[in-house]
Structure 1
Amino acid sequence: MNNYIEKLEFKNILNSISTYCTFFLSKKMSLNINPSKNFDEINSMQTETNDAKRIIEQGDNFSFSAIDESDIFTKEIIENEIININDIYQLNIFLKECNKIKSIFKNSKKSNSLLKYVNGINELNNLIEIIDLSIDENIEIKPSASQKLKKLRKKSLSSYESLNKELNKILNNKNYSNYFQSDSIRYISGRSALELKSEYKNKFKGILHGSSSSNNTSYIEPLTTIDLCNQLNDYQNQIKEEELKILKEISNNIFNSQTNIKENIDLSTNIDLIFAKAKYSKSINGTINLKEKDSHHLKLIQCRHPLLGDSAVPIDIEIDDNETSVVISGPNAGGKTVALKTIGVLSLMSQSGILLPCSPDSKIPIFKDYFVHIGDEQNIDKSESSFSSHISNIIFTLRNCKKGSMVLIDEIVSSTDPDEGLALACAIIDYLSNKNCKTVITTHIKGLVEYGSRKKWCKNYSVNFDLEKNIPTYKLIEGIESNSFAIETSKNLGLPEEIIVNAKKNLSDDYLQYKSLINELNTQREGLKKIKIDLEKKESQFLKKEKVLKEKIQKLDLEKQKILDEHLLEKKKELDNFKKEIKSIRQEINTSEEIKEVKKKIKKIEKTNFTLNGSDTLKYEYRVGDFMQLENISSTAKLIQIKSKNIGIFQIGNSIMELPLSKVLSVVKNYKNKTTTSYNTKIDASDYELDLRGFAVIDVKEILEKFLDNSLLSNEKSCQIYHGIGSRSIENEVHRILKETKFVSKFSAHNDRKGVTVVNFK
């Protein structure tokens, strides 16, 4: 009773796919495709078909069309069985095409879902070589198949030539010139014979092998050629034995490779079917349709019925997760039934791994069952009326449908009293909604349309009608009920004008007013549609302009950044010169008088070589708490205090240092600080100190020298350096550097704190 495959004409789709199959086994398989209900399997099939379509579009292809239908692909091969030479030849073509499939995918750089099939194909090159050496393109065993066969065929040819030479000698003998009907040589049951006139058969020495139907010609083998013919037959028999021996040897090789061959047959059948789906999908401009887990959202966008080709009018229809039903109204021959079939057949195609002729944004859930009521359901054998058959089938649907089922009903309860039909239709659609089925119903019952419009779980659609041209447009429109346009349709079909006029007179005023309102709403809808299109056009233009502006801003930002980078580079060069000056000055310091002189030089350098004031200052807005990358320091620093316009106090590891803000290379965003130690950020002149605990020995020289330089520039009298005790490696490095620094007058261990050195400047 649930013959949805037939009702939705899905077999026609499968027939079309079968024409694209090149292997007879995949052709048979294509006609028996059953839609899957498994989420992973459906998505896998969709991906495979889409990947195959991509390969076809690249120009790569294969074909098993040269292979004839043969038992070798389906039967079990028995040991020592001699396989027919034609079957061996067909198998050889198949194995070569399997290799071609592998080569296509080897050359493909992109990953492909079909690799699981292709990688399983066995390359049986040894078997191919054996067959190629033995069987030629005329499906005959080559003389080179064995040395013995080569010699036998040579001897056979020589024997045949000798026999023919002797027979021609007899034919040309003048003594027998009137004996023969013709100069033809016949071979009858392996014997050579000449066509002799029957009246001379007793005068010619030979063996009679038969005569013509008129008995005018007798076929006689001359006695002189009997031995030659026997010799030829002997060679022929030996050749047959040798050929059978060769075929048996090939057959045994095939038997030994039988498991691998069967794997290749199964895999190639599947691959050929997938490519057939892809070719069909390409012919209908199909797009991939992947399922969403546990989704019940049906959304078809610009969908066309695949059997109608380019002439099909695309439709849009949607039933979201919170909705269960759609009611479609509109004129006869307006496309309601086609819309039903389109929804049904696309769902079947999607669950069968066939790409869909619709927008890639379309969504179709997985349906567990299909219940389709389209066309005449009357059962004459049971003497049922159309209404009884229709209701009987709906009863079957109501008993068997469940959540996840698709129900398609064309012209629900139309063959009965309109009032009672409306009551039944409303009750049925309610029942199906309660069962959480996805239901699409077509109807001319206005009350059902109005009933559906009052339900949150139901949507109304209508097929549109062109009032000016007086023809249906086949477009599906959401939200407004459509007239049936029965009178207009009947007029177009040729109903006499007199009847049309009388029919219009019989329409009630209420109906005419209702119809006028519907037409007015349709006109308003068209107006809104034009406004929507205009707004979408303007939105598109706005987005384009926005894109251009963003590109310009981005370009300006890049130029700005380039200027800043160049300026920063220039300042860094100035800074490097400044460092060199300081370094040379440090080497000159020996006395307090020299220190005073050095300070004067520093002030002079500040004025002439390295000005960070006014317009030359890089205006960065630093904030306390920012993490920063500092010049020549690998560790990330945290700004804990801004001491002045150009000086900041930084926490680097366990150390706190006062450095110029010009040392900042960049601000590190979203930096996760792993240090939990807290510090006193209030540093007085009397507490000028450096904490080197936690630093590597290799970093100490750079940090300490900069600290000492800053001390000199800041006119500090003394400072404290925290280096800890441990292995004393940090302490030794600190003392070594202090000894080499000429403006350090003395240094000594702290009186109260261990691991601290107090430094006094000159």
Structure 2
Amino acid sequence: MNTKVLKTLEYNKIIEQLISKTSSRMGKELSSSLVPYCDIDTIRSKQKETSEAATMILRRGSLALGGLKDIRSSIKRLAIGGDLSQVELLNIGEVLRVSRHVKSYAKSAKDSNTANNLDTIYGLFDAIEVLNPLYKEITRCIISEEEISDDASHELYNIRRQMKVSNGKIKEHLNKIITSSTYKNMLQDPIITLRNDRYCVPVKQEYRGSFKGMIHDQSASGSTLFIEPMSVVELNNKIKELFTKEKQEIEKILAILSSMCFEHKEELAGNMKILTEIDFIFAKGELSISLGGTEPIFNNDKYINIKKGRHPLLDKKTVVPIDIHLGREFTTLMITGPNTGGKTVTLKTVGLLTLMGQAGLHIPAFDKSELAIFDDLFADIGDEQSIEQSLSTFSSHMTNIIDILQNATDNSLVLFDELGAGTDPTEGAALAMAILENLHKKQVLTIATTHYSELKVYALSTKGVENACCEFDVKTLRPTYKLLIGIPGKSNAFAISKRLGLTDNIIEDAKELLEHKEIRFEDLITELEISKKTTIMEKEKALKYSKEAEELKNKVTMQREKIQKQKDKILTEAREEAYKILNTAKDDADNIIKSMNKLRTNSDNSKEMEMQRSKLRSSISSLEKNLSTGIKTKKANTKSPKDLKAGDTVFVSTFNQKGTVLEPPNAKGDVQVQLGIMKTKVNIKNLSYVKSAEVNYNNKAPKNKNNISSKSMSISPEYDVRGRSVEEALGELDKFLDDAYLSHLPQITIIHGKGTGTLRAAIHTFLRKVKYVKSFRIGKYGEGESGVTIVEFK
């Protein structure tokens, strides 16, 4: 791809942004050399790298690669058998430290299940060699660029210990000299100084002959001499020797470390290459996130479809996104409209996004935008926007256009800005049409901007060529920067001039100077623009309604599923509770009958009790079967019952349950019915006769003693014992409690009246002895107060 277009479309500024995201010198070098690829498989692979890096950053945070040093020259020195310096070994240690950090970053991502669909990135992570023994040895021996650890070797430790002892002796001896009264007047200052790596004292010039020692230096004025006393010369010599030994030992340590690095030079070179690649890839990921980029879809069909694309060098908060497509219905797009309307930005956006995509970088556009693969991209875009263009400018543009025509192929993208401008309008328009026709015949994808009306007509009349315009708001005299494909743009010169204050008579004179067909053409453009905008608005509205309908449908479906799950859950819980109650009832019934059998000594009575027990279990099992299979709703009798009276047993179709009539129907046909513990009014139309025996505990027990299922439907939850003696009341109450309990009534009300309280006390004493009574209490206000007792069963 020609390098000129990279500069024209400011591709280098994108590369500068990419470089700023890298951490190492090698990563910056790799970024600066990035150019667009032309192979679709390579492009998709590079795009996948960028996507994986962006995903990793968003999930796990940025990958810190600070401290990644350039050790390429050190590896070359190792390859020829050379030893490394202290600084070079430290740099290798830094590379190994970064390797450890990258491995740890990768492991933490894997542990948190972030590694899904990140094969490329993890392939690089896995290829890194940590080399822990080498890293530990380097960090153990070398503290900094100037300091080797005392523990780097046993010999170095001994040498430095001796140096410390010798230094202590010298300083002790010199301290005696500078504090001695003998030498007090001879010294310029009572201090110890170092000259040529030897300890000295500052002696006045006039005492040169009196102070014995070796002169190593003198002050600038010559008044002070730095003399090494003869008494410490031997100690200084020893320290000098120790310095030499220390240097030799350090060189030996560095040689050993260099030898260890030599053994791993291949792994070090591999790590260096991989870490540089990771630095570069993660820089692409960081750039994608900062631009709000997405991975485009690539094709070899020369089709471009950019959705809400933004120029990456403009402020993403203020730039107006564009939708542009090219390559299917038409191969040439003619963009017209006023200056500063966004035509040039549109050209540069398409060109720059194409270059970025082919370079493996994400583009700032909506997801699933499509780009074609081009072997080359040509652009003739000038920054000069002046109306008065010189001949030299026209010549420069024409030279560039000639080069484009000679080199463009059917696999190229060509961008022209103000094609044919800078010369006579008639000749310029003719040249522009000829140039576009030449490229159109060669099936070269072309986007051009122009002011010429002739080119608008050319686009309208030529198959495969389409008009487009950058929208302009005449009311505000401002461009909207929106691209409308399908209609040509107006120059709006008359409208703008009128808004700026030009008088109507001048504008009318100008219109008369135009041919009628030109005026009609401009009016047609206006109509097309209005129609296009209306269509786009209706389309957006339809899409919005469609989206809302889809969301509503999904909500209804989810709600329906939720209700069904709740319904199933409630039914399951109800069945489980019913089975639990039934099992409890079975066990209680068995226990009661067994107890009664033990109390009966007569064999005849025992047989009768066993038969009753079998009937009781059979009835309960029948009830269990009904619960497990569900209750089948009975149809209401079509004929309403007549002559209903209190005590009649009826079937209530609206509740799918039997009940007892409490009061005959009123004038409206409403009947008060007792349903279990509930009293309600039901219209006579929803009632039908039940032929089973009547149940009335105020008189006699029902004949069918063993039909517990029907009993539970009609038994009264209230029992009135007023007016009876204690013996009569307790005898009847015992039987009523058994039937009420077996009918699964949760509670009953015993009406005993207030009176003297004797009957109430006797009933309470009796209730305390009944095992299946959970609790009992005096009625509350509204329930009958002390005249009733409320009994709750277990």
Question: Are the structure 2 counterparts of residues 85 and 488 from structure 1 closer, same or farther at C-alpha, using a change threshold of 3 Å?
Answer: farther
Name the aligned partner's letter for residue 24 of structure 1.
Answer: R
- Which residue pairs with 2:374 in the alignment? 367
Structure 1: distance between partners of 2:508 and 2:85: 78
Match of 1:330 among 337, 356, 359: 337
Contact 1:284 1:309 in 2 (8 A): no
Match of 1:307 among 313, 324, 331: 313
Name the aligned partner's letter for residue 26 of structure 2.
Answer: L
Match of 1:128 among 131, 135, 146: 135
- Which residue pairs with 1:16 in the alignment? 17
Contact 2:67 2:98 in 1 (8 A): no
Contact 1:117 1:271 in 2 (8 A): yes
Structure 1: distance between partners of 2:531 and 2:139: 75
Cα distance, 1:553 vs structure 2: 6.6
Structure 2: distance between partners of 1:323 and 1:259: 55
Question: Are the structure 2 counterparts of residues 560 and 242 from structure 1 closer, same or farther at C-alpha, using a change threshold of 3 Å?
Answer: closer
Contact 1:287 1:357 in 2 (8 A): yes
- Which residue pairs with 1:28 in the alignment? 29
Structure 1: distance between partners of 2:360 and 2:91: 30
Question: Are the structure 2 counterparts of residues 290 and 537 from structure 1 closer, same or farther at C-alpha, using a change threshold of 3 Å?
Answer: closer
SS of residue matched to 1:388: helix
Does residue 46 (structure 1) correspond to residue 47 (structure 2)? The answer is yes
After TM superposition, list the pairs within 5 Å mapping 1:172-191 onto structure 2: 172-191=179-198
Show CA shifts across 1:147-168 (max 9, x none): 1111111111111121122222
Does residue 170 (structure 1) correspond to residue 171 (structure 2)? The answer is no
- Which residue pairs with 1:114 in the alignment? 121
Show CA shifts across 1:149-188 (max 9, x none): 1111111111112112222221112222222222333322
Structure 1: distance between partners of 2:508 and 2:239: 97
After TM superposition, list the pairs within 5 Å mapping 1:78-117 onto structure 2: 78-107=79-108, 108=110, 109=113, 110-112=116-118, 113-117=120-124
Structure 1: distance between partners of 2:165 and 2:506: 99
Structure 2: distance between partners of 1:130 and 1:210: 42
Question: Are the structure 2 counterparts of residues 559 and 312 from structure 1 closer, same or farther at C-alpha, using a change threshold of 3 Å?
Answer: closer
- Which residue pairs with 1:418 in the alignment? 425
Unmatched 5+ residue regions in structure 1? Answer: 566-608, 610-614, 617-762
Structure 1: distance between partners of 2:527 and 2:204: 102
Match of 2:449 among 436, 442, 449: 442
- Which residue pairs with 2:324 in the alignment? 317
Cα distance, 1:261 vs structure 2: 0.7
Name the aligned partner's letter for residue 36 of structure 1.
Answer: Y
Structure 2: distance between partners of 1:307 and 1:449: 30
Structure 1: distance between partners of 2:190 and 2:53: 63
Deviates more, 1:137-146 or 1:248-257: 137-146
Structure 2: distance between partners of 1:137 and 1:2: 45
Question: Are the structure 2 counterparts of residues 513 and 291 from structure 1 closer, same or farther at C-alpha, using a change threshold of 3 Å?
Answer: closer
Name the aligned partner's letter for residue 16 of structure 1.
Answer: Q
- Which residue pairs with 2:649 in the alignment? none
Contact 1:376 1:386 in 2 (8 A): no
Show CA shifts across 1:253-302 (max 9, x none): 1112111111111111111100001001100111112323x332100000
Does residue 389 (structure 1) correspond to residue 396 (structure 2)? The answer is yes
Structure 1: distance between partners of 2:557 and 2:65: 55
- Which residue pairs with 1:628 in the alignment? none
Contact 1:471 1:489 in 2 (8 A): no
SS of residue matched to 2:371: coil
Contact 1:299 1:363 in 2 (8 A): yes
Match of 1:538 among 510, 535, 545: 545
- Which residue pairs with 2:272 in the alignment? 265
Show CA shifts across 1:597-626 (max 9, x none): xxxxxxxxxxxx9xxxxx99xxxxxxxxxx
Name the aligned partner's letter for residue 30 of structure 1.
Answer: S
Question: Are the structure 2 counterparts of residues 63 and 491 from structure 1 closer, same or farther at C-alpha, using a change threshold of 3 Å?
Answer: farther
Cα distance, 1:81 vs structure 2: 2.0
Superposed CA RMSD: 3.3
Contact 2:307 2:323 in 1 (8 A): yes
Structure 2: distance between partners of 1:325 and 1:556: 56
Match of 1:295 among 292, 301, 318: 301
Show CA shifts across 1:476-509 (max 9, x none): 11112112346888999xxx97899968864545
Contact 1:305 1:312 in 2 (8 A): yes
Q: TM-score, normalised by structure 1?
A: 0.68
Cα distance, 1:206 vs structure 2: 1.4
Question: Are the structure 2 counterparts of residues 457 and 527 from structure 1 closer, same or farther at C-alpha, using a change threshold of 3 Å?
Answer: closer
Cα distance, 1:64 vs structure 2: 2.9
Show CA shifts across 1:56-89 (max 9, x none): 1123443332245556467442454221211211
Contact 2:57 2:63 in 1 (8 A): no
Structure 1: distance between partners of 2:238 and 2:570: 104
- Which residue pairs with 1:408 in the alignment? 415
Contact 1:193 1:220 in 2 (8 A): yes
Name the aligned partner's letter for residue 22 of structure 2.
Answer: C
Structure 1: distance between partners of 2:262 and 2:391: 60
Contact 1:299 1:316 in 2 (8 A): yes
Contact 2:77 2:84 in 1 (8 A): no
Show CA shifts across 1:397-456 (max 9, x none): 111111211111111121122222222211211221222222111111121122122233
Unmatched 5+ residue regions in structure 2? Answer: 573-624, 626-630, 633-794
SS of residue matched to 2:33: coil
- Which residue pairs with 1:676 in the alignment? none
SS of residue matched to 1:473: strand
SS of residue matched to 1:48: helix
Does residue 398 (structure 1) correspond to residue 398 (structure 2)? The answer is no
- Which residue pairs with 2:253 in the alignment? 246
Cα distance, 1:390 vs structure 2: 1.4
Name the aligned partner's letter for residue 356 of structure 1.
Answer: I
Cα distance, 1:519 vs structure 2: 3.9
Name the aligned partner's letter for residue 185 of structure 2.
Answer: N
Contact 2:69 2:95 in 1 (8 A): no
Question: Are the structure 2 counterparts of residues 173 and 556 from structure 1 closer, same or farther at C-alpha, using a change threshold of 3 Å?
Answer: closer
Question: Are the structure 2 counterparts of residues 276 and 488 from structure 1 closer, same or farther at C-alpha, using a change threshold of 3 Å?
Answer: farther
Show CA shifts across 1:633-668 (max 9, x none): xxxxxxxxxxxxxxxxxxxxxxxxxxxxxxxxxxxx
Show CA shifts across 1:679-726 (max 9, x none): xxxxxxxxxxxxxxxxxxxxxxxxxxxxxxxxxxxxxxxxxxxxxxxx
SS of residue matched to 1:263: helix
Structure 1: distance between partners of 2:344 and 2:501: 28
- Which residue pairs with 1:140 in the alignment? 147
Contact 1:2 1:371 in 2 (8 A): no
Contact 1:72 1:91 in 2 (8 A): no
Contact 2:466 2:486 in 1 (8 A): yes
Question: Are the structure 2 counterparts of residues 498 and 543 from structure 1 closer, same or farther at C-alpha, using a change threshold of 3 Å?
Answer: closer
Structure 1: distance between partners of 2:559 and 2:152: 76
Contact 2:474 2:495 in 1 (8 A): no
Match of 1:194 among 201, 204, 207: 201
Deviates more, 1:3-12 or 1:410-419: 410-419
Contact 1:335 1:463 in 2 (8 A): yes
Match of 1:159 among 159, 166, 178: 166
Name the aligned partner's letter for residue 49 of structure 1.
Answer: T
Contact 1:332 1:489 in 2 (8 A): no
Q: TM-score, normalised by structure 2?
A: 0.66
Name the aligned partner's letter for residue 304 of structure 2.
Answer: L
SS of residue matched to 1:474: strand
Match of 2:225 among 199, 213, 218: 218
SS of residue matched to 1:175: coil
Cα distance, 1:326 vs structure 2: 1.1
Match of 1:475 among 476, 479, 482: 482
